[in-house]
Amino acid sequence: MTRLRFHVEEAGLPITDSPGTVHVYLYGARPARLGSGSIGRRLVKAVTRLGVPVDPVAFDFLSIALSVVAADTFVDRETWAANGWSRELSLDIPLAKPSIWQGVATDLERALGFLSGDQWELSFRSGGKEPPSKDAILRHFRTHIGIGPADSVCLFSGGLDSLIGAKALVDAGKTPLLVSHSYRGDQGYQTKLAPRLGRKLPRFAANAHPVFSGKNKSDTSMRTRSLGFLAYGVVAASALLAKKSTPDPIDLFVPENGFIALNVPLTRRRIGSHSTRTTHPHFLGQMKAIFDKVGLRISLENKYRHMTKGEMLLAMRPGPELTQTALETMSCGKWKRKSQQCGHCVPCLIRRAAFAKAGIDDTTYYQFPDLQNAWVQRDIRDDIMAILVAVGRDEHGLRQRAIASGPLPLDPVERDGWFGVHKRGLKEVAAYVKNQGFGT
Question: Which alpha helices (H) appear in 140-276, and where do they start and end?
Answer: 160-171, 186-193, 225-244, 258-262
Q: Give the pLDDT of residue 220.
A: 61
Return the SS3 of 23.
strand
More confident residue, 105 or 405: 105
Confidence band for 270, pLDDT divided at 50, 70 and 90 = low
State the average pLDDT over residues 232-238. 98
Q: What are phi and psi of 243, to 5 degrees?
A: -70, -40
> Mean pLDDT score of the chain, rounded to an integer?
92
Residue 438 has pLDDT above 50, yes or no: yes
Of 94, 75, 47, the closest CA to residue 208 belongs to 47
State the average pLDDT over residues 321-337. 89
Instruction: Give the chain's length.
Output: 440
Residue 169 has pLDDT above 80, yes or no: yes
Residue 274 has pLDDT above 60, yes or no: no
Q: Give the pLDDT of residue 77.
A: 80
Residue 185 has pLDDT above 70, yes or no: no
Confidence band for 275, pLDDT divided at 50, 70 and 90 = low
Query: Counting Cβ atoms within 10 Å, is residue 354 exposed (0-12), middle (13-18) or buried (19+)?
Result: buried
pLDDT tens-digit series, residues 282-307: 999 999 999 999 999 999 999 999 99
More confident residue, 267 or 433: 433
177: enclosing H helix or E strand: strand 176-181
Q: Say which residues have a Cβ less than 8 Å from residue 75's Cβ, sequence separation at least 6.
A: 2, 4, 22, 87, 89, 219
Residue 434 has pLDDT above 90, yes or no: yes
Q: Give the pLDDT of residue 182.
A: 78
Query: Counting Cβ atoms within 10 Å, is residue 277 exposed (0-12), middle (13-18) or buried (19+)?
Result: buried
- Which residues make beta-bridge pairs with 25? 7, 38
Question: Which alpha helices (H) appear in 339-392, and where do they start and end?
Answer: 346-357, 371-375, 382-392
> From start to end of 288-391, where are the E strands?
298-301
Residue 38 has pLDDT above 90, yes or no: yes
The rounded radius of gyration (Å) of the Cα atoms in the chain is 22
CA 256 remoteness from chain centre:
10
Q: How far is 36 from 107, CA to CA, in rounded Å?
A: 28
Confidence band for 272, pLDDT divided at 50, 70 and 90 = very low
Q: Do the bridges between strand 37-39 and strand 211-212 make them parallel or antiparallel, or are there none, so unpaired?
A: antiparallel
DSSP state of 366: B
pLDDT tens-digit series, residues 366-415: 999 999 999 999 989 999 999 999 998 878 889 999 998 899 999 999 99
Residue 264 has pLDDT above 50, yes or no: yes
Q: Say which residues have a Cβ less than 8 Å from residue 160's Cβ, sequence separation at least 6.
A: 309, 312, 313, 326, 329, 331, 351, 354
Q: Give the pLDDT of residue 197.
A: 95
What is the edge-to-edge ordering of all strands in the sheet holding 152-155?
A: 203-206, 176-181, 152-155, 250-253, 298-301
Most distant pair of Cα atoms in the chain: their distance: 65
